[in-house]
Amino acid sequence: MDRARNLLHYLNMNSIPTYALYGETEGEARQDWLHWETIQARSRLHDYRIAPHRHDQFFQVLYLTAGRAEMTLDGDDHLLLPESIAVVTAGTVHGYAFSADVRGTVVTLIERDIVGLGVPRPQAMVIHRNCRDIAMALGRLTAEADRPGTGHDVAMRAHLMLLLVALRRADVAAMPSQENGRAAHLVARFRDLVEQQYRHSRRVADYAAAVGISHTHLNRLCRQRLGRSALDVIEQRIALEARRQLLFSTLTIKQIGAELGYDDPAYFSRFMARMFGVPPAVLREQMRRR
C-alpha cells in the first residue's frame, strides 16, 4: 500500500478527509471552474482504489463506459457497470474500487457555479439507465472546455445548464410530484439553505424567513412536494451527516453531536435513536460490522 492510501484510510481518520481532488491538497488543485479527466488518470495512481472522502465545494459527475466499479455513496454500496453515471454533490462521502480495465470520464465543477445558474441542483445519486442525454451533454461540455472559441463563457454555461437538465430528467421518476413554477423554486431554495446551514440552525422559522415565506407555507409546500415536513427535511440532513461521521470517522459520539449543534450528548443520543431506531453507539457498530 502506498503512502497516499495509508493517509487516506478512513478508519484511521479523526474526521472524514476533505480534498480538492482526490490525492491533492488545496494548494495543488486547479483553480479552473471546470476540471475533467479520465477515470484511469487518477485511479491507477491509487491502485484503482479511492478511499471514502468528500469534497467541500465540488460537484462531480462520473461516467463509466467500460470495466466496473464498486462505489460507496454516503455508506450505501452501488455497482457501476458500463453506461452508469454517478453524481456526487459537495459534502457527500464517496469512494470507489475500480477494475483495472475501467474507462470513463470524471467532470468536476464548483458547486456554487451550479447554484448560480438558477437550475435546481441534482441530488447525489447513481443512474443506471436513460444515460444517453447525460453522456452527450458531458461530451459537449468537455469539448467546449478543451477548444474554447468565440463566446466561450456563454457556451460553457449553456452546456452546463443542458447537463443539469439531463440529470434532472434522468432522476424525474424519483420525484414525488411534477415540478412547476414558484413552489418548486421555493422548495429547491429551502433545500439549498438546509445544505448550507443545517449545522447552525434547526428552526424552520429561520429557513422560512430566508426563503421569504411563512413557516406554515413552507411546511405545506414541503408536504406537497416532498411528502414530509420542513422539520423532517432539516432533521434528515442532520441525521445523514451524523451517520457519515459515525461510519467514516473516529470522532467520539459526543464530538459528533457537538459538531452538529447538540451540546447535550443525551439529547443527541435520543435524536439518533428516534431517526435510526438505535442509539448512535449501536448504529456505528452495526454499520462497521456490515
Q: What is the CATH number of domain 3-174?
A: 2.60.120.280
In terms of phi and psi (left: phi > 0; alpha: psi -120 to 50; beta: otherwise), the region of 127 is beta
C-alpha cell at 47: 491502485
Which tens digit of pLDDT belongs to each residue from 95-109? Answer: 999 999 999 999 998
For residues 199-235, one letter each, b for 16 or more C-beta atoms within 10 angstroms of the residue's C-beta and e for the rest, the string is: eeebebeebbeebebebeebbebbeebbeeebbebbb
Q: Which of 2-11, 167-176, 235-244, 246-255 has the lowest mean pLDDT?
A: 2-11
Q: What is the CATH number of domain 181-289?
A: 1.10.10.60
* β-strands 94-98, 49-53 pairing: antiparallel
Which residues 6+ apart lie within 8 Å of 39 measured at CB?
A: 62, 64, 69, 98, 102, 103, 104, 105, 106
The predicted structure's pLDDT at residue 146: 86
The residues facing 109 across adjacent strands are: 34, 59
For residues 64-79, one letter each, b for 16 or more C-beta atoms within 10 angstroms of the residue's C-beta and e for the rest, the string is: beebbbebbbbeeebe
Range list for CATH 1.10.10.60 in the chain: 181-289
Q: Are 163 and 142 in contact (CB under 8 A)?
A: no
Which tens digit of pLDDT belongs to each residue from 27-86? Answer: 444 434 688 999 999 899 999 999 988 887 889 999 999 999 999 988 788 999 999 999
Range list for CATH 2.60.120.280 in the chain: 3-174
CA nearest neighbour of 99 among 80, 86, 75, 84: 80
Which tens digit of pLDDT belongs to each residue from 235-274? Answer: 999 999 999 899 888 899 999 999 999 999 999 999 999 9
The predicted structure's pLDDT at residue 29: 40
The residues facing 77 across adjacent strands are: 72
pTM: 0.64
Q: Are 250 and 244 in contact (CB under 8 A)?
A: no
Q: Which of 4-8, 154-158, 228-232, 259-263 has the lowest mean pLDDT?
A: 4-8
Q: Are 110 and 58 in contact (CB under 8 A)?
A: yes
- Could you tell me the CA-to-CA distances from 4 to 25, 43, 52 in Å, in that order? 12, 12, 13
DSSP 81-106: -TTEEEEE-TT--EEEEE-TT-EEEE
pLDDT for 147 beyond 90 = no
